Amino acid sequence: MTSFFAPHGTGDLLSRYSFIEPLLAGRRVLEIGAARGTDGASAVALAERGAATVLSVEDDGGGLGRAAELAGHPFVQFRGAALEELPQRAFDLVLVADGAPLAVNPERLAALAALLSPKGYLVTALAAAGGRGLAALAGEEFPTEVPSYESFAGSLEAQFEVVEIATQSAAVGWVIATSAQGDKEPELGVDGTLGGSPEAAFYIAICGAHPSRLAGMMLVTLPHTPLAESAMAAAEALRTHEGCAEMAAGQGTEIARLAAELTDADGRIAARDGALAGVREELEAERARVRALAEVAESERQALLEARSTLERTGADLGARAAELESARVELAARDADLREAAAAARRCDERLLSLDAAARERAVEAELARADAARAGEERASARREAEESRSAAEAARTEAAAAQAEAKHAAGAPTPRAPTPMPRARAWKPRAPTPIKRAPTLATRPERPSPRSRWRAPRSRPPAPGWRPSATSWPRRAPSATSGWPRRTS
């Protein structure tokens, strides 16, 4: 932990937090860069003043272990994290202990703005150039190289819509009060006539999208004991060194003697330095030679490592190639087996084709024989029809002659002339049946034996009537015989 009155230390930060206390109630607060300097006391003060949660971070994580050990609080956490690792729009109040880097780092300022909720505020401070705070009274070194107020305010105004500036000034005084009377709070009076014009030690910036509504003046009292102890220690040191001048005057002769001895020693040292220079040169040359040898050895070692790596890769490649060759050999054997099987299948197909070709030729021969038989059957049917027509013509002529003979006989006997007999109806014209379609012949292996087309049964041919045949009165013309059923039955 740094001094209580160090710049941006515990005294400075707690005074600022008292001023912005109206903004803390129920807020999610992020504190940056204060845990190391205050050992976590500033984060605990924020939680005690009404903050809902407090996350105190350091970019490098330094001092967080001690802060977590000394400043334990259920609503306070300490973490080492960069701004990019924090959740965006998750905080209502972001407190940056030292705002000097923000004046020259707009990217970090934009990252801080991204962490704020829509109604959040960024609060930071810049040490005033040439200002003196309580750190000067405590003997602490105050910052001297700081950005200008204009650059600081300009950077903030470029990022936020509303930027409010407050001053933080140091004051020294007394608290004069009577003894307490009951529970009534005493009236507070401030007399600033003896202090003169206050000199700003810090500029406090409150930035956001809306005004913070912070107004008025806050007077924060701090313990004077650290300042008194620092002043007493400085006075004691001054009294201790008051006799140093007299002692120095009395020791002038001794100093001169020592100076002469020092000059002599310098001469001897110079001579030794000359000798050492040669030794150093030789040593440097030897070191250069050793470095060169080391470089050569390192290059050879690298070459050996590369050769070993190459051998290992070559071995791995050879193993992979061997595995690939074995796989190719197995695949080739499988393909040879497939080719042999395919050749056997091709032979079986050829044999099947030959057998089908032979069966087709046989069926073609049978079809040709069937066509020849059908042609002969047609000729026979035509001949039978001609014979039937001739028979019917002969029967008609015979009936006509018989009727004429009967008429003559009755005329001769004086009987009345009979009516001519009603001619018999003609027989229906014979029509050949449609040929039965031939089914596809089975294969040679499954086709059953069947007789040759020449040995099939044939219908008997019709014969002409015997000479002198005459149709009787009950005779009836017959139709031509069928090729399959012989002489047809009588039709009405």
pLDDT in tens, 393-427: 988 898 898 888 888 888 887 655 555 555 555 54
Q: What is the pLDDT of residue 97?
A: 92
Q: What is the pLDDT of residue 186?
A: 75
Cα–Cα–Cα angle for 373, 454, 370, rounded to 5 degrees? 35
Q: What is the pLDDT of residue 124?
A: 96
End-to-end Cα, the chain, rounded Å: 141
Nearest-CA neighbor of 366 among 445, 432, 447? 447
pLDDT at 451 over 70: no
Q: Are 250 and 256 in contact (CB under 8 A)?
A: no
CA distance 316 to 274: 61
CA distance 194 to 184: 29
Q: Are 60 and 33 in contact (CB under 8 A)?
A: no
pLDDT band (50, 70, 90) for residue 110:
very high
pLDDT band (50, 70, 90) for residue 444:
very low
pLDDT band (50, 70, 90) for residue 463:
low
Phi/psi at 388 (5° precision) = -65, -40
468 Ramachandran zone, left/alpha/beta (phi>0; psi -120 to 50): left
pLDDT tens-digit series, residues 228-257 = 777 777 767 767 766 565 665 666 677 777
Q: Are 227 and 138 in contact (CB under 8 A)?
A: yes
CA distance 156 to 207: 7
pLDDT at 170 over 60: yes
Cα–Cα–Cα angle for 167, 153, 81, rounded to 5 degrees? 90
**What's the whole-number mean pLDDT along residues 315-340?**
91
pLDDT tens-digit series, residues 247-291 = 656 666 777 777 888 888 888 888 888 888 888 888 888 889 898
Spell out the domains of the chain, with CATH numbers in brackets: 10-171+197-240 (3.40.50.150)
Using only C-alpha atoms, the chain has a radius of gyration, in whole angstroms, of 67
pLDDT band (50, 70, 90) for residue 487:
very low
Cα–Cα–Cα angle for 173, 149, 155, rounded to 5 degrees? 135
In the block, residue with structure tokens 């012989």: 486
Ordered alpha helix ranges (H), 172-251 = 225-240, 244-250
Nearest-CA neighbor of 142 among 196, 199, 66? 199
CA distance 248 to 12: 42
pLDDT band (50, 70, 90) for residue 18:
very high
CA distance 122 to 416: 155
